[in-house]
Homo-oligomer: A and B are copies of this chain.
């Protein structure tokens, strides 16, 4: 008998806090809808799913064969078990409850629990395959006890009409304006906070009239507090993979809300997710197949929506995109704190302890290595080969800078190869580098460029600030910090700064939507904060 030994490495430990969503819904044994679809969707969006199964179904893509409600006592015990563990204390992880197929007993038990988190209610009445899953009596009770004050309700149009029918005679919707009116009207009866009515059953033509051959689907979100209607327009998708689309949309919205996304963004991301799920799946089963829930979702709204119709920002040589970013209301203070950092002031005054500067040089050495690698990622994502080339050329320049650094460190008797242990990057450097590499992975060319901008342009401003301070209060004897100030206040660095601004402008020459600009502001702001932390650490040692 042969014996093989394999020694498995221990992974590193990390704190990864997962927020919890509880789905209260039926189980779909075929895995495409119900709590199965919910759990798959929660996992894809990185949130933790707990369940309260209201009924077991035997079903597949062809239809529902059998339903068995969960005994009421057990259902109550399940709810209480989850709430006991995940809810009701400070920083408790349960953030959102998503409901699907309900029973009257389930609603009664939910109401009893009086759970004070956001409820996303998908009012499941009929399965995609045509089975009636909830009776009118139950629906009435649900409207009275659960939907009122709920955070969000997500009916499709037939469900919305059934709900409307509890209050008024439903009418035929023939165009977008009537659809909008219908949604606002329905909300005024349901009294939920927000209402999303899915229009997949009534495609519209280009004029906004309902048409059997219409190619445009419109889903309408009404937010009652702000009284804003958002119309999500998309191309009608002809797909056999529609089993569980409703469940999946609602659970994707619930997951995104849990992750802190706004409601409108959550809806955009989730609509795209189900579209991808339908289009990027080889059909499973004989009936309407399930979606692919395993796709990497896109959570950057600007990548999902068309520019047309959205506000577009434009820049020019006198009002560069870098100016926009650094003077943005959310960035301005951070930016000033960064470029007028006490580190620079103390350099200018020659009051920075040498050990601090020495620590800074060593940290910066690590940073430059990552900065070079980031340009590799930039090269790999460049839209044109000329831009790939430009990124590669910058790598060469950064390497020259690294070699200078190495020589400078050698002058202080630090030999990198010898002293590698002592040269370990500090917390601020590691955090900064990790953030950049993460951006390098997930962002596009422009996003990466923006993540590298605070360093390039901030140092120019910091250099100028330092020189100004020193001009006001000259240091008699030339000191070791003179070189640093000279470098970043020099003509060549100022030229690099200007060229960088124009290069970034060139990338947004056609303008960018406000929504994309906001994402880039976030990146620019975070990196500026990381620059501050980098210098803070130097002063703290």
Contact = CB atoms under 8 A, between A and B. Distances in A.
A243 to B, nearest CB: 10
A300 interface: no
Interface stretch (A7-15, A112-120, A190-198, A333-341): A7-15
Interface stretch (A281-289, A475-483, A489-497): A281-289
Contact of A231 (B4, B227, B306): B4
Total copies of the chain: 2
Contact of A233 (B6, B305, B402): B6
Contacts of A396: 389, 392-393
Given A305-B9, A376-B377, A85 B232 contact: no
B385 A402 contact: yes
Given A16-B280, A282-B17, A380-B377, A237 B294 contact: no
A299 interface: no
Interface in A269-307: 271-272, 275-276, 279-282, 284-287, 290, 292-295, 304-306
A29 interface: yes
Contacts of A31: 20, 39, 48-51
A61 to B, nearest CB: 6
A429 to B, nearest CB: 15
Interface in A374-413: 374-382, 385-386, 388-389, 391-393, 395-396, 399, 402
B180 A3 contact: yes
A12 B234 CA distance: 13
A206 interface: no
Contacts of A11: 272, 275-276, 279-280
Contacts of A523: none
Contacts of A62: 84-85
A414 B472 CA distance: 62
A284 to B, nearest CB: 6
Nearest to A66: B77
Which has the most chain B C-beta neighbours within 10 Å: A6, A29, A268? A6
A305 B6 contact: yes
Interface in A40-79: 40, 43-44, 46-53, 56, 58-62, 65-66, 68, 70-71, 73-74, 77-78
Contact of A85 (B40, B49, B60, B395): B60
Interface in A435-455: 440
Contacts of A60: 81-82, 84-86
A281 B46 CA distance: 12
Contacts of A275: 8, 10-11
A204 B380 CA distance: 47
Given A4-B229, A5-B233, A18-B281, A391 B376 contact: yes
Given A29-B50, A59-B81, A385-B402, A282 B15 contact: yes
A264 B287 CA distance: 37
A9 B306 contact: yes
Nearest to A295: B16
A113 to B, nearest CB: 13
A375 B385 contact: no
Contacts of A294: 18, 43, 46-48
B385 A376 contact: no
Q: Main secondary structure on chain A at its contact with chain B?
A: mixed
A329 interface: no
A27 B53 CA distance: 9
Given A385-B399, A392-B392, A375 B379 contact: yes
A60 to B, nearest CB: 4
Nearest 5 pairs of A and B residues by beta carbon = A376-B379, A376-B380, A58-B77, A392-B395, A60-B85
A184 interface: yes
Nearest to A64: B81
A433 to B, nearest CB: 12
B50 A74 contact: no
Given A229-B1, A233-B7, A399-B388, A280 B14 contact: yes
A327 to B, nearest CB: 26
Contacts of A50: 29-31, 36
A509 interface: no
Given A85-B62, A309-B5, A12 B389 contact: no
A373 B369 contact: no
A320 interface: no
Contacts of A312: none
Contacts of A310: 6
A379 B48 CA distance: 36
Given A10-B275, A81-B58, A284-B86, A2 B68 contact: no
Contacts of A84: 60, 62, 286
A3 B231 contact: yes
